[in-house]
Amino acid sequence: MIKGKSNIPNLIDSPLVSICCFTFNHSKFIHQAIDGFLLQQTNFHFEIIIHDDASTDGTTEILKSYQKKYPELIRLIIQNTNQWSNGERMLLATFVLPKVRGKYIAFCEGDDYWIDPEKLQKQVNFLEKKHEYSMCFHDALIFKKNDKNVNEPFGKITNREYTGKEILAKWIIPTASIVFRRDLYFPIYNPNFLHGDIVLCLTLAQRGKVYGMSEIMSVYRKQKGGMSSNYQGIDFFRLFLKHRIEIHNTFREFTGYQSKRFISLIIAEIAWGKLKNYSISFVYYIVLAIRWSPIGFLHNLYNVISTGILSMAKREK
């Protein structure tokens, strides 16, 4: 909302920021997410675009009730069938981006939420002054379902520029903290990409600088039921291996030994799983890993096997 005004503007013809929210079966959390949007105090207009991927728990009805109350502010994209289950991984590019009218895009998934009413204003102020930066992000708190308190920082972010190599080496960017320039984002379509956040951020790092803010302005809700939980063990590692190899090949300016070593770690996990199942394909993954990083693979394989043996020994006690 515009600072100093208690009502939503009658018409929002030219929002500076488009808040994009993605939700699926978030009926327990979506109130908190939308309320965080509505509490924003800005000197500019913004719009809220919410994509619901065919929720079945009442999320859709909650969204419609908010839209009825704020019709000029909230725009809904309601799917009749779950697009993610149908193999559609580019929800932003396919469904949301064509609806965006803002110069900047801010992200927040339906189970996360913002806690600073000036979050958008602070980030937009920075990007308006620093034209060489394509995006900025900030630190967040991690909320764990079984914890009584929310007090663990997401990434211990400091006020400085972050390189693409740093982003690739260690993921420290909460999704609900991202604000970026719409005109600098060009989607990359690749069916092997599992996680869109890292692809988005690396793409923006190719087109400008990336800035991190130490202020904690959102909460990341860590819970079961995410995309990774739909896959088990070796199947997930196979998919994740394809994902990281495609990341490595697509963003070569940000890759190096650490990237190759991380890929070899994934291969070590697959190889260990094959070995436990007495599968001859264990040999194939050894050869594949040696091609990527011989020294890194041997180091990682030793760690994976020793950890696995230790775990098995503990279970037998």
Domains in the chain, CATH or no CATH each: 17-223 (3.90.550.10), 231-316 (no CATH)
Please, which pLDDT band fits residue 170 given cuts at 50, 70 and 90? confident
Q: Between 4 and 29, whose confidence is greater?
A: 29
What is the CB-side half-sphere exposure of residue 107 using CA atoms within 13 A? 24
pLDDT value for 306? 60
| pLDDT tens digits, one per residue of 267-313 | 766 666 666 666 666 666 666 766 666 766 666 666 655 655 444 33
pLDDT value for 229? 43
The least confident of 12-21, 232-241, 247-256 is 232-241
SS (H, E, C) the chain: CECCCCCCCCCCCCCCEEEEEEECCCCCCHHHHHHHHHCCCECCCEEEEEEECCCCCCHHHHHHHHHHHCCCCEEEEECCCCCCCCCCCCHHHHHHHHHCCCCEEEEEECCCEECCCCHHHHHHHHHHHCCCEEEEEEEEEEEECCCCCCCEECCCCCCEEECHHHHHHCCCCCHHHCEEEHHHCCCCCCCCCCCHHHHHHHHHHHHCEEEEEEEEEEEEEECCCCHHHHCCHHHHHHHHHHHHHHHHHHCHHHCCHHHHHHHHHHHHHHHHHHHHCCCCCHHHHHHHHHHHCHHHHHHHHHHHHHHHHHHHHHHHC
Which of the residue ranges 8-22, 109-123, 228-242, 251-265 has the most confident prediction, judged by mean pLDDT?
109-123
| pLDDT tens digits, one per residue of 33-87 | 999 999 999 999 999 999 999 999 999 999 999 999 999 999 999 999 999 888 7
| Averaged pLDDT for residues 170-181 | 94
pLDDT value for 307? 58
| Averaged pLDDT for residues 133-153 | 83
The rounded mean pLDDT for the chain is 82
Determine the residue type at 185: Y
Please, which pLDDT band fits residue 222 given cuts at 50, 70 and 90? confident
State yes or no: pLDDT of 198 exceeds 80: yes
Which of the residue ranges 198-202, 212-216, 275-279 has the most confident prediction, judged by mean pLDDT?
212-216
| Averaged pLDDT for residues 80-105 | 89
State yes or no: pLDDT of 9 exceeds 60: no
d(CA 34, CA 108): 9
| Averaged pLDDT for residues 224-232 | 46
Determine the residue type at 311: S
